[in-house]
Chains A and B, each alone.
Chain A
Amino acid sequence: MSRKVYVEVAAVFTPEGQVMPRQVRWEDGTVYAVDRVLDIRRAAATKAGGCGLRYTCRIRGRQTYLFLDEDRWFVEAKEA
C-alpha cells in the first residue's frame, strides 16, 4: 500500500494551454527537477487512491507518476 502525498509543484502554462510540471518539492524540502514529461492522461491512482490527470515524468533518471487532482498535485509514496 502506498501513501498519497500532496506536494508543492512549480509548473508552467504552455501557450497551448497545457500545464507542465517543472519542479517538485518533496516532503523533506528537497527540490527535484522534472527532466521530461513522457505521457499525460486521466488515470486512477491505483496504489494510493483517487484519480486525476496523470503525468508520467522522468525525475533523476527514474519514471514517476505525478497526479493533478483538480488543483492539487500528489504522488504515490512508498509506505514509510
Chain B
Amino acid sequence: MDRQILHVDCNKFYASVECCLNPELRDKPVVVGGNEASRHGIVLTKNEIAARYDIGTGETLWSARQKCPDLVVVPPHFPTYTRFSGMVREILRGYTPLVEPFGLDEAWLDVTGCRRDPVEIAHEIRRRVKEELGITVSVGVSFNKSFAKLGSDYKKPDAVTVFSRENYRDLVWPLPAGDLLFVGRSTRKKLAERFIFTIGDVARADPALLQALLGKWGPALHAVANGRDSQPVIPSEQAAAVQSVSNGMTTPRDLTDDRDVQRVLMVLSESVGRRLREQHMTGRTIELHLRDNQLVTRSHRVTLDHYVQSTNDIAGAAFALFKDSYRWQRPLRSVTVGVTSLEPDTIPCQLDMTDSAGREKREQLDRAVDGLRQRFGDKCIRRAILLEDPDLTGDSLYETHTVHPTGFSGKTDEIGGKE
C-alpha cells in the first residue's frame, strides 16, 4: 500500500507571526529584517503585500526600501517564532507521532493507517492552524516526502495540494527541476546544459547519463522524479545525531588584524564549546569559514590528532588554522567556526605526556564556567579578551543561536549563528 505523507509549510512564517501578534501590520507591506546598525540588514521574510513589490528574502533592507518606501521593517523575535513553531507541532502531533520538523516552519507527517482520508486531515490542519494560531499553512499530500514538499509549495497560502499516482505526471513533471529539494544552483546548471529543465525531463532522462553528470546523486534524483522516494518520516526524537556544531557571526565592523580575529574566534568558540559539552560530544576536525569585505568566502579545515571540546582548545586550533590559511588579502566581514568528526566525549583518548594534565584542568575550568553561566546568566563571568572591544564581540552567542533546517538527506546539520 502507498504511504500517505503530508508536508506542512507555514507561509511566510516570521512575517505571519508578526502580523498575527500585531493586527495593525496586516494591511501593510511588512518585512522581518536584521539590525542594520550591526550590519545584519537583510530581509528574513516578507508578507504577501511586501512580496508584491518584488522584495526578495536575503535582499538588503536598503534596496527593499527603494522598491517600497512605505515598507514596515520589524526586528526578528526568535523566541516567539520558536513558541509558535512549537504550537504548530503540537497540533500536528495530535494526528500522528510521526512528525519530522524541517526548520521552524515546515514538517512532514506520515498519516498512513490513520483510518481517515489524508486530504481531510490536511484540510483540518490548515483550518485549525488558522483558527487557533492565526497564521496560515499550505499542505502537500502525496505518497512520498519529495512530492508532498512540492505540493505544499504548489498552491499557497492556506491551501491543500494533492499529488497522487494518477496526477503527478501532469502536475509535478512540468515544474522546474530546481524545485526538487536536492537540486541546488550547480546541479541545476549541469542539468540545463543537457537540456534538462523540468522534473519531467529528469524523470525521462537516462539514469546512466544522470550518473555521469551528477555521480551517485544522479540515479537518486531520477528515482525521486519518478515518484520512487522511500525516505521515511523520522520523528524529531529519533533524528540523526548532530554531525557538526558551528557558530558564525557577521561583525559590526570589518576585522582588520589578527587580534580582532582572535577575539571573534573566542566568542564563537565559547558557544561551540559549550554546545559540544552540553551534548557530550567531542570532535577533531576544525572548520573555518571566512568571508571578506568583497563577500568572497573561503573555507578551511584541519583534522587534529586528538579530540577537542574545551573552549580554549577550539579557539587555539581555529586561530592556528587561520594563521596558516589567511594572508590578510582583504579585511574580513564574517567568520564561522565549526567542529565536526564528532564522537561521544566518552571516547578513549590518547594522553599526551607533555600536556594531558593541562587539558584536564581546562576542561574542569570550562565545566565550572558553564555551571556559573547556567545559574547566573552568560554575563556573570567573561574572558578578558572579550572586554577589549565589547562593540565587536557583543553579547553572548549561546543565548541567541538559532537552529536552521537539517538537510533531509541527512547530509548537513547546520546550526546557525547570531542574528
Contacts and interface: CB of A to CB of B under 8 A. Distances in A.
A51 B134 contact: yes
A46 B23 contact: yes
Which of B22, B24, B132 has the most chain A CB atoms closer than 10 A to its own CB? Answer: B132
Interface of A: 1, 41-51
5 nearest A-B pairs in the assembled complex, by CB-CB distance = A44-B134, A42-B132, A49-B23, A49-B21, A51-B133
Contacts of B23: 1, 46-49
Nearest to B23: A49
A1 B24 contact: yes
B22 A49 contact: yes
A44 B20 contact: yes
Contacts of A41: 132
Nearest to B132: A42
B132 A44 contact: yes
A59 B79 CA distance: 34
Interface string B18-33: 0011111000000000
A79 to B, nearest CB: 11
B132 A50 contact: no
Nearest to B18: A49
Interface in B1-23: 20-23
B186 to A, nearest CB: 42
A50 B131 contact: no
Interface string B122-136: 000000001111110
Contacts of B87: 42, 51
A45 B24 contact: no
Contacts of B132: 41-44, 51
Given A41-B132, A44-B131, A44-B132, A51 B20 contact: yes
A70 B333 CA distance: 40
26 contacts: A1-B24, A41-B132, A42-B87, A42-B132, A43-B131, A44-B20, A44-B130, A44-B131, A44-B132, A44-B134, A44-B135, A45-B134, A46-B23, A46-B134, A47-B23, A48-B23, A49-B20, A49-B21, A49-B23, A49-B134, A50-B20, A50-B21, A50-B134, A51-B20, A51-B133, A51-B134
Contacts of A43: 131-132
A48 B135 CA distance: 14
A48 B21 CA distance: 8
B195 to A, nearest CB: 48
Contacts of B21: 49-50
Contacts of A51: 20, 87, 132-134
B17 to A, nearest CB: 10
A72 to B, nearest CB: 13
A1 B24 CA distance: 8
Contacts of B135: 44
B52 to A, nearest CB: 23
Interface in B395-409: none
